[in-house]
Structure 1
């Protein structure tokens, strides 16, 4: 995370809050969405922006890197 505070309104580490929300959301995503990198990237971008908006009141520029292990 660059240019963002370490902690949000919850006083928890912002990167941990983002990771936890992603971990909670992934099991509930449609399997087709998970297999399509572009759609998955869009979904995760919206999620990260929403978490940041709730935690710090800003919607930062988000870059998602998807690395699939074969």
Structure 2
């Protein structure tokens, strides 16, 4: 199944979770993730199953002043 992570297509196995997608993307902490514009709690990543065409945004905090 294909999903979009930060505007790049990724191919995942059917039934993949958000945790699987983040591993494929090689996301490094700290970050937050949203699926189709809705943020998902980190504790829910393994149970949050993805569907074909889901759009995932991985955002990292920006430090500055």
Q: Which protein has greater RCO, CA pairs closer than 8 Å, 6+ apart?
A: 2
TM-score of the superposition, structure 1-length normalised?
Answer: 0.24
**Greater helix share, 1 or 2?**
1
Larger radius of gyration: 1
- The structure whose residues are more often strand, as a share, is 2
